[in-house]
Amino acid sequence: MKLFPFLAIFLLLGITFQQPVLAKVSTPVVKKVVMAKSAANPAVKKSVNSLCHVKGTKYYNQTKKFVAYVNIAACLKSGGKLPKK
């Protein structure tokens, strides 16, 4: 068997074949973009362009792909911006 000498060398050198351990990294969790039909009229929608639209504003109903937030402060804290208009 041709593979045996390589395995013997790895074992002699202390190299083992184990599954790598995933390190815990403190990166922000990516939030899933939801469609308007699945979220029941949230108070604030953050669009894919990171604009926070409050219920009752001009582009709130036009925003179809968004992340829902309870209030404007939470949306802004997550990196969202207020629309210019």
By CB atoms closer than 10 A (0-12, 13-18, 19+), residue 43 is middle
Task: Compare 37 and 45 and report the one with higher pLDDT.
Answer: 45
Reported as a pLDDT band with limits 50, 70 and 90, residue 39 is low
pLDDT averaged over the chain?
75
> How confident is the model at residue 59, as a pLDDT?
92
> How confident is the model at residue 37, as a pLDDT?
44
Residues in contact with 74: Cβ distance below 8 Å, sequence separation at least 6, in sequence order: 44
Do β-strands 34-35 and 52-54 pair in parallel, antiparallel, or remain unpaired? Answer: unpaired
Tokens, residue 83: 């629309």
pTM for the full predicted model: 0.55
Which residues pair with residue 67 across a beta bridge? 46
Alpha helices in 1-85 (DSSP H): 4-13, 72-77
> How confident is the model at residue 54, as a pLDDT?
94
Boundaries of every domain in the chain? 4-77
